[in-house]
Amino acid sequence: MRRSVVALVAVAVALAGCSSGGSGADDAEVQVDTDDFAIDQDFPDPDVLATGDRYYAFATNGAGFNVQAAVSTDLESWETLAVDVLPELPDWASPGKTWAPEVTEVAPGDFVMYFTAANKSPALQCIGVATATNPEGPFTPVGTGPIVCPPDEGGAIDAATFVDDDGTRYLLWKNDGNCCGLDTWLQIAPLSADGTAIVGETTKLLMQDQDWEGNLIEAPTLVKRDGVYTLLYSANDYGGDAYATGYATAPSALGPFTKADGPLLTTEISAGRYLGPGGQDVVTAPDGTDVLVFPSWDSLFIQRGVNVVPLEWDEGKPTVVLP
């Protein structure tokens, strides 16, 4: 659904309520179109998998499903699937907080999903693993417990995967430190060839240390472009328009990473078009160019729909091409 609105960014801040930071925008009236979504429903934390001639998007629980899914052939027109691709949670997990799924194809017809769920004991958000032979599921949980669940760091959320040039497969995540007054670190560890187990040491990559990030960073997305390892991430309170996307670069997947001087995409940078743009993924389009896939709030801060915008690179540094 497309709804053009005349909005004050200042009004959006008031509607955000739970936002932990102000927009800093002035009160000048601007014409914005906040509700023109590629996926026009509540579809937070989208991860996009390219397999065959299709793209599959997976999202946080909603519409009565543990994991939502949608399919596209061009990244522009999407069909949401009327099926829960993760119909059963593992015994260690409680329903209701199945967040930020990440799906990767480790071999032809062999799909692995990493999902955040509410661990029963200790009562923290942790990351589990499930497998399937079809991207439309059903995915079946594997193992007797989470793959990542550090109790002394507040648990773990927001899994992401990366495969390096030498074939090494990695899992990235954020320790959920903001749940309990701790720092939030983006972390990385090598995975087994089948993607179902961590097989090496964990390396801490980045933590929140810039004003615009508020008290947390999360949602890692690691890619390699122009010979540079680029780590995109989100920061601040996802519940309002202070949520934003940043990036850092490094000479290797394990760092050291250097943050950009400021965020990549914010409500202000988009002139109010995208309210709280974060929770991103980087996807290669059919024409070989990259796009940034991310959710943002609608004009009433009721749901987060999905946006797809071009992404350009210069020596590993991304630039969002705004409409």
Which active-site residues does the annotation give? 45, 218
* Number of Cβ atoms within 10 Å of the Cβ of 74: 13
Q: Which residues touch 186 (CB under 8 Å, ≥6 apart)?
A: 172, 173, 174, 204, 205, 206, 207, 217, 218, 220, 231, 233
Q: For residues 282, 283, 288 and 289, what is the CA-based torsion angle, rounded to 10 degrees?
A: -40
Find the distance separating the first CA and the last CA of the chain, reported in whole Å.
18
Dist CA 261 CA 164 (whole Å): 26
Tell me 231's DSSP state. E
Dist CA 72 CA 69 (whole Å): 10
Token pair for 201: 């040491």
Asked if 143 and 232 touch (Cβ cutoff 8 Å), the reply is no
Dist CA 199 CA 221 (whole Å): 20
Q: 88 pairs with which residues across the strands?
A: none
